């Protein structure tokens, strides 16, 4: 859980150390750290155009005049963790000069990993651009081994876009990544969110505790969807045990968006210690039902209406794996209300809406 600047600022001039320090401050003042958000991650465009004479990565002196280590220190002083971006190619994805990006890690894995460790980096997002058609597993293994060799625990986020089915190999040795992208880049639209959800939800059996399917960062608060759609976005990512990386500008976030991101009951589903991605048990006629077992023995259930019209939806207790003739407590995680019953769900769902329950036996 954390923040990444890309969805809100991309490579604009406002992306700099002052902005990122301000974001870290907002983690505290807005209550995000208390809700479980920990990582403050910076994306592409942080680096200088060229490595130094020794081949070392250098931060852009205009954006980060104090250096990356100083920024990491500031974030750590807030009780937070710091994440950085690179690419498993010769250069990164943002072609701002002579149609090329900033220096990538291909062929520099050991040197770059040592640099990241010396800067006290806690998280590496490793992209897939300009990869010279080198085998994906080979490229991502090289950085994984280099990171481990530093002795510093660095969360390894494989951003391979799903091209080479990283869910088949990225979570296993020798890569053993903490997460891997299962989709292309998300954009701030309902259609994009729905596409990434559908690609990711069917891969539940590849996720294991500590190794997660990643349908890309959150767009909640960026303005391209309604609050109903943003609640669905947050609910679906949470029941899929996906990384929750805020992608909106926390300096200007609106109260309604912040309320979604601070829903601790939904966050608890995402962060449940059992670490199981929810399984889709219904995908029919535009209605999705996803069930996620939780460590305390309860079940999280999301019912999502992807269609453009409101629907009355019924879900039998047996469909979500509950025992017949038993009594259950149904906790609505958005309304924060409780009902009792046989475990079945009957709900009126507006277009694009999701209802989410925590169901436990009484």
Q: Catalytic one among 185, 283, 332, 342?
A: 185
Q: Is 269 helix (H, G, I), strand (E, B) or coil?
A: helix
Integer-rounded Cα radius of gyration of the chain: 21
Q: Which residues is 181 bridged to in the sheet?
A: 214
Q: Indicate the DSSP class of residue 356.
A: E
185 classed as catalytic: yes
Q: Catalytic one among 122, 127, 216, 272?
A: 127
Which contiguous run of DSSP H or E holds residue 76? helix 68-77
Cα–Cα distance for residue pair 219/186, rounded to 1 Å: 8
Cα–Cα distance for residue pair 250/4, rounded to 1 Å: 10
Contact (Cβ atoms closer than 8 angstroms) between residue 95 and residue 56 = no
In DSSP notation, 27-54 reads HHHTTHHHHT--EEE--TT-B-SS--TT
214 classed as catalytic: no
CA-based nearest residue to 250, from 96, 77, 25, 71: 25
Contact (Cβ atoms closer than 8 angstroms) between residue 350 and residue 318 = no
Kindly list the catalytic residues.
Answer: 127, 185
């Amino acid at each position: 859980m954390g923040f990444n600047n890309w969805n809100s600022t991309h490579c604009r001039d406002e992306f700099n150390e002052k902005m990122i320090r301000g974001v870290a401050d907002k983690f505290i003042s807005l209550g995000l750290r208390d809700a479980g958000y920990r990582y403050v991650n910076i994306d592409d465009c942080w680096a200088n155009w060229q490595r130094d004479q020794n081949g070392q990565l250098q931060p852009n002196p205009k954006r980060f005049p104090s250096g990356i280590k100083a920024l990491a220190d500031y974030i750590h002083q807030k009780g937070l963790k710091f994440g950085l971006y690179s690419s498993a190619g010769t250069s990164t994805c943002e072609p701002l000069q002579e149609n090329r990006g900033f220096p990538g890690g291909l062929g520099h894995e050991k040197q770059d990993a040592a640099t990241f460790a010396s800067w006290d980096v806690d998280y590496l997002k490793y992209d897939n651009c300009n990869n010279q058609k080198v085998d994906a597993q080979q490229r991502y293994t090289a950085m994984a081994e280099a990171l481990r060799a530093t002795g510093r625990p660095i969360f390894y986020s494989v951003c391979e876009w799903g091209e080479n089915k990283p869910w088949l190999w990225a979570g296993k040795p020798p890569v053993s990544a903490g997460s891997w992208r299962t989709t292309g880049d998300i954009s701030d639209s309902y259609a994009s969110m729905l596409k990434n959800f559908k690609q990711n939800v069917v891969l539940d059996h590849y996720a294991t505790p500590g190794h997660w399917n990643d349908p890309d960062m959150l767009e909640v608060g960026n303005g391209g969807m309604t609050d109903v759609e943003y609640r669905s976005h947050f609910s679906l990512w949470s029941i899929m045990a996906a990384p929750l990386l805020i992608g909106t500008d926390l300096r200007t976030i609106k109260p309604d968006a912040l309320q979604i991101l601070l829903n601790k009951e939904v966050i608890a589903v995402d962060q449940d210690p059992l670490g199981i991605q929810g399984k889709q048990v219904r995908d029919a006629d535009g209605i999705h039902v996803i069930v996620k077992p939780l460590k305390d023995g309860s079940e999280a259930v999301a019912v999502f209406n992807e269609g453009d019209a409101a629907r009355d939806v019924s879900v039998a207790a047996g469909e979500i794996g509950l025992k017949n003739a038993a009594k259950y407590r149904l906790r609505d995680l958005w309304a924060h209300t409780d009902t009792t019953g046989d475990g079945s769900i009957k709900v009126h769902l507006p277009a694009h809406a999701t209802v989410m329950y925590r169901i436990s036996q009484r």
